[in-house]
Amino acid sequence: MNRRAVVTGIGHYLPERVVPNSEFEATLDTTDEWIRSRSGIERRHFAAENETTSDLATKAALAALKDAGLEADDVDAIVVATSTADLTFPSAATMVQASLGMTRGFAFDVQAVCAGFVYALSTANALILSGQASRVLVIGAETFSRIMDWTDRSTCVLFGDGAGALILEGQEGKGTPQDRGILAVDLNSDGRYKDLLYVDGGVSTQTTGYLRMQGNQVFRHAVEKLAQTADTALARAGLETSDVDWIVPHQANIRIIKGTAKKMGLDMDKVVVTVQDHGNTSAASIPLALSVGKSRGQIKPGDLVVTEAIGGGLAWGAVVLRW
Ligand SMILES: CC(C)(COP(=O)(O)OP(=O)(O)OC[C@H]1O[C@@H](n2cnc3c(N)ncnc32)[C@H](O)[C@@H]1OP(=O)(O)O)[C@@H](O)C(=O)NCCC(=O)NCCS
């Protein structure tokens, strides 16, 4: 028995409204040129006023189910990675479950900010390997526009809204690194770094918060920790950097993406990049990039894919999977 959690469907959804960098020039002391050169971001999508995280998640989920040729009730569990759920409770995942008309199984959220999708993939993989679920719908969905301080030019130009989803299904492999599916995971966190990236409010503190970030400090940790977690996960899978077909990184900043690839000794033509079109969509960024990468014809069956992400906590990690 060499059970593997294999991706059998993928999809994404982006809100209609596209906001180019130039739109911030009217209200902030910033320029399109500054945002492009410091972050690689050219535009991002923002959810409509009445559009919530679970709305975005449901649309991405429907696209993933369609891609897999499945109905909602064919799925045993839903895991949503988000830090911007519609309500304090119930979970965004149970809201998606209801919106999909799914009447069985179980659903819950995972919160690890920008590393959320990596944590959700790891959780779904564990559910499948332990036999608790055969098929899991894994979603990353965010409306970070709702936690922006629109007067803080150092943060509000960097984030966007969106959702991506995939279906993970248990299949028998041979127990070798040539198997399709998730081959290895590496997760880390270090709560001592809380002050580098956080929201300064929440239910228990009875305040409404906004995202706060010491960008240059986060940057310093990001390249080093991302390259390290990717290398650790690859080693755990019995693979090397030279085996990698695609790095699908968290899309926060093109300079972090390039720095991590360089540290790993990989050319940028092995990296899926969507940050220019989406900005940083936190837990949604990796499934969005996987879905766009597949639709561009970059990621193909049999390819070795490494996803890696870091965010508030700090929390970071990587997943190695064969598509
Ligand atoms: C935020 C980030 C783009 C800033 O780039 P940077 O090169 O580190 O720039 P600094 O923060 O050192 O700021 C440099 C100057 O630009 C200014 N600045 C910040 N935002 C600006 C903006 N939107 N437009 C123009 N100037 C801006 C700063 O005020 C600062 O000015 P000062 O030197 O007069 O104080 C960069 O640090 C970054 O991307 N960090 C990682 C953040 C991230 O991805 N976090 C999410 C991880 S999940």
Domain ranges of the chain: 2-173, 181-322
Question: What is the rounded CA–CA span in Å between residue 137 and residue 211?
Answer: 28
Is residue 9 within 8 A of residue 65, CB to CB? The reply is: yes
**With pLDDT > 90 as the criterion, what percentage of the chain qualifies?**
99
Question: What is the rounded CA–CA span in Å between residue 20 and residue 16?
Answer: 13
Q: How far is CA 83 from CA 100, 110, 161, 165, 231, in A?
A: 21, 8, 12, 16, 27
> pLDDT tens digits, residue range 5-35?
999 999 999 999 999 999 999 999 999 999 9
Which one from 45, 114, 156, 278 is the annotated catalytic residue?
A: 114
Spacing, Cα 216 to ligand 1 middle (Å):
7
The structure tokens listed for 309 are 């992400």
Spacing, Cα 261 to ligand 1 middle (Å):
21
Spacing, Cα 282 to ligand 1 middle (Å):
18
pLDDT of residue 208: 84
The type of residue at 230 is A
- In 265-308, where does DSSP find H-type helix? 275-278, 285-295
Q: Which residue has the least CA distance to atom 17 on ligand 1?
A: 154
Q: Which residue has the least CA distance to atom 46 on ligand 1?
A: 252
Q: Which residue has the least CA distance to atom 10 on ligand 1?
A: 216
Active site residue 253: no
Q: Which residue has the least CA distance to atom 28 on ligand 1?
A: 154
> pLDDT tens digits, residue range 131-160?
999 999 999 999 999 999 999 999 999 999
Active site residue 45: no
Q: Which residue has the least CA distance to atom 5 on ligand 1?
A: 38
CATH number attached to the domain at 181-322 = 3.40.47.10
Is residue 215 within 8 A of residue 41, CB to CB? The reply is: no
Give residue ranges with CB within 6 A of ligand 1.
Answer: 30, 34-35, 38-39, 114, 153-154, 157, 213, 215-216, 218-219, 252-253, 256, 280, 310-311
Residues 268-287, mean pLDDT to the nearest whole number: 98
Spacing, Cα 159 to ligand 1 middle (Å):
13
> pLDDT tens digits, residue range 106-140?
999 999 999 999 999 999 999 999 999 999 999 99
Question: What is the rounded CA–CA span in Å between residue 66 and residue 72?
Answer: 10
pTM for the model stands at: 0.97
pLDDT of residue 101: 97
Helices 53-68 + 285-295 axis angle, to 10: 40
Q: What are phi and psi of 259, to 5 degrees?
A: -60, -40
> pLDDT tens digits, residue range 40-94?
999 999 999 999 999 999 999 999 999 999 999 999 999 999 999 999 999 999 9
Specify the ligand 1 atom closest to the Cα of 155. 1
pLDDT over 70 (residue 285) = yes
The structure tokens listed for 46 are 């923002």
Residues 220-248, mean pLDDT to the nearest whole number: 97
pLDDT of residue 265: 96
pLDDT over 80 (residue 1) = no
pLDDT of residue 21: 98
Is residue 102 within 8 A of residue 43, CB to CB? The reply is: no
Spacing, Cα 293 to ligand 1 middle (Å):
28
Residues 257-274, mean pLDDT to the nearest whole number: 97
Q: DSSP class of residue 261?
A: H
Which one from 125, 250, 253, 278 is the annotated catalytic residue?
A: 250
Query: Given 2.30.42.10, 3.30.70.890, 3.40.47.10, 3.40.1160.10, which CATH number is that of 2-173?
Result: 3.40.47.10
